[in-house]
Structure 1
Amino acid sequence: MNAIEARGITKVYGAKTVIHHVNLEVKSNEIYGFLGRNGAGKSTFINIITGIVHPTTGTFQLLNEPNLENVKHRIGVLPDYSSFYDSMTAVDHLKYYSSIIGYKMSKERCEQVLKKVGLSEHANKKVGKFSFGMKKKLGIAQAIVHDPELIFLDEPTSGIDVESSLEIHKLIKDLHNEGKTIFMTSHNLHEVEKICTRIAIMKDGRIFSEGTLEELKSKHMSALHVQIKHSFVSDPSWMESMLHEISKEIKTSERITSFVVDSEEKIPSIVRALTEQNIDIYRIHVHEPSLEEIFLSE
């Protein structure tokens, strides 16, 4: 089942088109990373499919339900910037938020969720005394207190310390293991690379690349930089001659040879050629594009 289906979503403000005919599917129980530079349209798209903003054209459905009003109780949302009441405690916030969406949460349930996000010691502290990172965790608690099936997290770790980020990464993985679907945006490409099961990259209101990390890497691996550490070769010139036919940017030495090929299928034939000459292979390093490199190339 798809947790999210969007068809032809477009959003126009005056003469400016912010979202251009976006089609997107997110399967149930995915951690879906939604990337893009500032102004790419990420937050606008989230605002559309969570009902904050109406699309100019296009349709969407969440959890197989085209009527958003019928499914709001099954989703949770952490906006990029959450607002809180300084005079209310963390528990009070969760109880108040739950009542707005039609739930009556016990103090025990609220404390359970606060423990889950690492705020159990601050359950009865007024939020005005919270740090930015603590408020971010409280925002996540508000998004999950009613046990939703689909969770939207807009920049869940922005502006917080490394330790808190790692705690949130673990929480996202735990929610995923519970069967939740997570749709998240982030400027932290390393965390997306580490925890997301599928990724989309948005640019100028359009999705330019989409797939698993391996699929994105495969799409962008038009040039593979290969380095081979091998046993001593007194005259490496013959290797350069052999490599010249199937690779480029060749550099040879007595113990290390590097080159660039346009397909990984060419690497085994090169290894075979070396071993046939009784050259031992100690190490092969193939540089694959990182998510950062893929992101910057879009």
Structure 2
Amino acid sequence: MFAIETKQLTKTFGKNKVVDQIDLQVKSGEILGFLGRNGAGKSTFINMLTGIIQPSSGSYSLLDVQGPNDDIKKQIGVMPDYSALNASMTAMKHLKFLAAVSEKPVSDERCMDILKLVGLEEQAHKKAGKFSFGMKKKLAIAQAIIHDPQLIFLDEPTSGLDAESVIHIHQLIQQLHQQGKTIFMTSHNLDEVEKICSRIAIMKDGKIGKMGSMDELRAYYQSTITVTIKHSPIRSTHLPTLEQWLTLTGTQLEMKTSQFTIHVTSEKKIAEIIRALGKYNIDIYRVDVNEPSLEEIFLDE
């Protein structure tokens, strides 16, 4: 089952095609990181999925229900803009209100459980107008999950938060994932996307340019792997033979007294090199593998 499926989904404003015939499938239970530079079309795409704006053409379904559909809105959670919070309402009243809108009334106990989950238990009866920036972000996340949705949209859930709060939100997202929830999240924090997302989609000029797991994106982006191995001294009688073998195994070999760097085409080659060093009774102290980061892949898009 796909939690999200779009077919040729398109949105134009006048002559400007902001979202251009996107085909996307998001499996139930995965965390999809949705990336793109400002102006790439991310917000427009999400606004179509969440029913805020209508597509110009194409179609989409959420949780196997064709959209737009008012009933499906009750089964999804959307993290609202923190600035939209009512300053005069308490955290508890915000959750009660959102649950009522979703036609899933909740008990005070459920509200307290959710506030505890996001770290706002002690602020349950405090007005949102007195909340810090970080507390407002946490309340926005609480609103998105209060009615126990199966599909959750999180827009920049950790931006502007302190390190401790970021860790807490990451743990919360992992918890939701373990419960089988599908999470569609945008973030400018590429490290967190790389760390917690099952797959990543990168949007550019209204289209999805690259999509896959980090391993798949790395394989697409990089044809060779740079490996640096620190080791015990190599006997002079073994050095010429080993150096010749390494030259045939990889490329751009750089030998030093206690380490060498080599470019190989697959991880299997790394295992072959380690076994070869073992045959020569060379101790391996450290193996460093230089793979492209999500930031490098993103900037290359």
TM-score normalised by length of structure 1: 0.92
Letter paired with 1:253? K
Q: Which residue of 2 aligns with 1:209?
A: 210
Letter paired with 1:36? G
Kept after mapping to 1: 8 A contact 2:231/2:286:
yes
The C-alpha deviation readout for 1:182-225, integer Å capped at 9, x for no partner, is: 11111111111221112111122211221222222222231211
Change (3 A) 1:274 1:176: closer
Q: Which residue of 2 aligns with 1:185?
A: 186
Q: Which residue of 2 aligns with 1:84?
A: 85
SS at match of 1:71: helix
The C-alpha deviation readout for 1:81-120, integer Å capped at 9, x for no partner, is: 5401111111112222222232333333322221221111
Change (3 A) 1:119 1:256: same
Q: Which residue of 2 aligns with 1:131?
A: 132
Kept after mapping to 2: 8 A contact 1:237/1:252:
no
Counterpart selection for 1:284 from 273, 284, 287: 287
Letter paired with 1:195? I
State the distance in 2 between where 1:195 and 1:242 align: 39
The C-alpha deviation readout for 1:118-138, integer Å capped at 9, x for no partner, is: 111111111110011111111
Post-superposition offset of 1:261 = 2.3
Post-superposition offset of 1:180 = 1.2
How much identity, in percent, do the aligned residues show? 55
Deviates more, 1:164-173 or 1:103-112: 103-112
Deviates more, 1:255-264 or 1:238-247: 238-247
Kept after mapping to 1: 8 A contact 2:33/2:184:
yes
Post-superposition offset of 1:9 = 1.0
Q: Which residue of 2 aligns with 1:147?
A: 148
Change (3 A) 1:286 1:94: same
Q: Which residue of 2 aligns with 1:60?
A: 60
State yes or no: 1:264 paired with 2:293: no
Change (3 A) 1:279 1:160: closer
Deviates more, 1:227-236 or 1:137-146: 227-236
Change (3 A) 1:276 1:118: closer
Post-superposition offset of 1:244 = 3.3
Q: Which residue of 2 aligns with 1:221?
A: 222
State the distance in 2 between where 1:111 and 1:280 align: 56
Change (3 A) 1:46 1:250: same
Letter paired with 1:208? G
TM-score normalised by length of structure 2: 0.91
State yes or no: 1:255 paired with 2:233: no
Kept after mapping to 2: 8 A contact 1:234/1:254:
no
Letter paired with 2:49? I
Q: Which residue of 2 aligns with 1:14?
A: 14
SS at match of 1:104: coil
Q: Which residue of 1 aligns with 2:46?
A: 46
Kept after mapping to 2: 8 A contact 1:80/1:156:
no
Change (3 A) 1:116 1:284: closer
State the distance in 2 between where 1:95 and 1:265 align: 55
State yes or no: 1:34 paired with 2:37: no
Letter paired with 1:153? L
Q: Which residue of 2 aligns with 1:200?
A: 201
The C-alpha deviation readout for 1:123-173, integer Å capped at 9, x for no partner, is: 111111001111111111111111111111111111111111111111111
Change (3 A) 1:146 1:278: closer
Letter paired with 1:53? I
Kept after mapping to 1: 8 A contact 2:252/2:262:
yes
State the distance in 1 between where 2:274 and 2:176 align: 44
